[in-house]
Chain A
Amino acid sequence: QKEVEQDPGPLSVPEGAIVSLNCTYSNSAFQYFMWYRQYSRKGPELLMYTYSSGNKEDGRFTAQVDKSSKYISLFIRDSQPSDSATYLCAMKYSGAGSYQLTFGKGTKLSVIP
């Protein structure tokens, strides 16, 4: 079993839809959780990061962490064509000196006008 599982999609939704992107993980030592957005031929861009279980909201984006289920989600409200990209979840162990991020494979999202 891979440490981080992410459905690669592709996921296609109409403009204005609510999008739900998810990752599961197997190692309870992961304590920090991030979502990156990667446009075609660009580097990943940090969207959101969370530490504790619960929700964190930033504009149209909501990150949700459920440590008991080892499950994280990213919700996009009122999706726009400009949201079309690959979304990568990433996780990190806690502790000083621990810098390595473990990534999911990414979910390719297309928002159709």
Chain B
Amino acid sequence: SAVISQKPSRDICQRGTSLTIQCQVDSQVTMMFWYRQQPGQSLTLIATANQGSEATYESGFVIDKFPISRPNLTFSTLTVSNMSPEDSSIYLCSVGGQIGSYEQYFGPGTRLTVT
């Protein structure tokens, strides 16, 4: 499995500001995913980030709020824009396994608190 790191590990931000979360993988991967994990809730997929193309967003998530970059096969960023307290959550980067497999591996997460 890939080794995934995320920065920052946690942050406390004021409402109305934006935070960019970085995800770095130790090997080239085709598929990268961004999830949100709110207290007491299931992990929810925000978007799928493919290198060289626009990210694909799930229902309820929009690019203006969660812009994503995928400049190469080992790196991606997720920005949480114009934050409100409802955005307080853990944000997780995930990568797919071997091509044709369905395994996904997760980074350690970024714990965001919006005040």
Seen from chain A, the residues whose Cβ lies within 8 Å of a Cβ on chain B are: 4, 8, 32, 34, 36, 41-46, 49, 88, 90, 92, 99-106
Contacts and interface: CB of A to CB of B under 8 A. Distances in A.
Given A99-B33, A103-B43, A49 B48 contact: no
B106 A8 contact: no
Given A8-B40, A41-B111, A46-B1, A100 B106 contact: no
A40 B63 CA distance: 30
Given A43-B106, A103-B43, 4 more contacts: A41-B111, A43-B4, A46-B104, A99-B96
Contact of A100 (B41, B45, B92, B105): B45
Contacts of A103: 42-44
Given A49-B102, A100-B58, A101-B45, A43 B40 contact: no
Binding site of A, secondary structure by majority: helix, strand, loop or mixed? Answer: strand
B82 to A, nearest CB: 26
B107 interface: yes
Interface string B80-112: 000000000000100010000011111111010
B104 A43 contact: no
A101 to B, nearest CB: 6
Contacts of B58: 100
Interface string B19-55: 0000000000001010000001111110010000000
A46 B4 CA distance: 13
A6 to B, nearest CB: 8
A41 B108 CA distance: 8
Interface core residue of A43, A90, A102 (most chain B CB under 10 Å): A43
Contact of A105 (B40, B45, B108): B40
A24 to B, nearest CB: 14
Contacts of A44: 43, 92, 106
8 contacts: A4-B42, A32-B102, A41-B109, A41-B111, A101-B45, A101-B104, A103-B42, A104-B42
